[in-house]
Amino acid sequence: MRIVLTGQAAFGAKVLQALVEKGENVVAVYVPPEKPGGRPDPLKEGAIASNIPVYQPASYKDDEAFEQYKQLNPDLSMLAFVTDIIPERFFAVPTHGAICYHPSLLPRHRGASAINWAVIMGDKRTGLSVFWPDGGIDTGPVLLQKEIAIGPEDTTGGLYFDHLFPMGIDALVESVTLIKEGKAPKIRQDESAATYEPPCDDSVGNINWSLPANELYNLVRGCDPQPGAFVMFKGEKLRFYGSKMVEQPTDKAPGTVLQIDDQGVHTAISGGEILVSKLKLGPGEKLPGAEFAAEQGLREGDFLGG
């Protein structure tokens, strides 16, 4: 079966490696063009090392790019970490269509920041879906899903790198096997259960100390490591990483620094406190809480914000 793989970064590279090791016939790889002075994408490097042709169209809307793609005569198109908009006509060319990886249990959390929103919205479980794209935003029928629990201290980064990244590679390889065996289902998504959230960026990550403790804590975890939930401090964005919630009552106003120790910075929130182990101010580096406090003159009783 002739496979065309579209993707990028470490996830795309690992998917390619898994397909090659399994003996699958990957006939071409598509990756985004490099930015001026940028390093080659890991997926591109992996393809070159395996003597697989690499294509980097500036736009998938161009007829020339589409004609080039058709000449590859693919049996299956695989999308692994794709941020470009791929026109629907590309999915109709392969004999077996196209499949796409998405890090949520579709139809919940469609969109580019699915893992972030699962944590921010307090979901107890999440997972991944391999689905058949149909031109909509994560709307095609589902081939398979894998589910995991979201623990009380899980972050977006931890869920992805520890679980959804390796599980996603296995799920895509499993999907290829099911397709080759003629056993791959197409399960229609329940539109009544669908949610779509916007990208998780700084418009989402601004901390409001008046939020209930669980909501604030989920926001900090959901924005870790990107974009980093933040408050304004000394005129710059102060971002929080590696947080834990401590259910210990305090009479201090939310946002007040309660304690600074080798664990980090303890700050009052509604109904308890949040412990932040690392902080990053503006364009600076992430620093352990105590080191950051010493460098910035942060003391017990100070207010984080404004």
Strand partners, 79: 6, 100
CATH topology assigned to domain 2-193: Rossmann fold (3.40.50)
SS3 (DSSP) at 188: coil
List Cα–Cα distances, 190 to 108, 128, 141, in angstroms.
9, 16, 9
Report, as ranges of residue numbers, the positions in the chain whose pLDDT lies below 50.
Answer: none
**Is the CB of residue 3 less than 8 Å from the CB of residue 74?**
yes
pLDDT given at position 99 = 98
pLDDT given at position 306 = 58
Decide which of 3.10.28.10, 3.10.25.10, 3.30.920.30, 3.40.50.300 is the CATH code for 202-296.
3.10.25.10
By DSSP bridging, strand 76-80 and strand 230-233 are unpaired
Indicate the angle between helix axes 42-49 and 9-21, nearest 10 degrees.
20
Q: Can you give the pTM of this predicted structure?
A: 0.96
pLDDT (tens digit per residue) in 63-120: 999 999 999 999 999 999 999 989 999 999 999 999 999 999 999 999 999 999 999 9
- What own/partner pairs with CB < 8 Å and gap ≥ 24 does 215-218 have? 215/122, 216/269, 216/270, 216/274, 217/243, 217/245, 217/269, 217/274, 218/119, 218/120, 218/121, 218/122
Instruction: Please count the other Cβ atoms lying within 10 Å of the Cβ belonging to residue 121.
Output: 15
Domains of the chain, residue spans? 2-193, 202-296
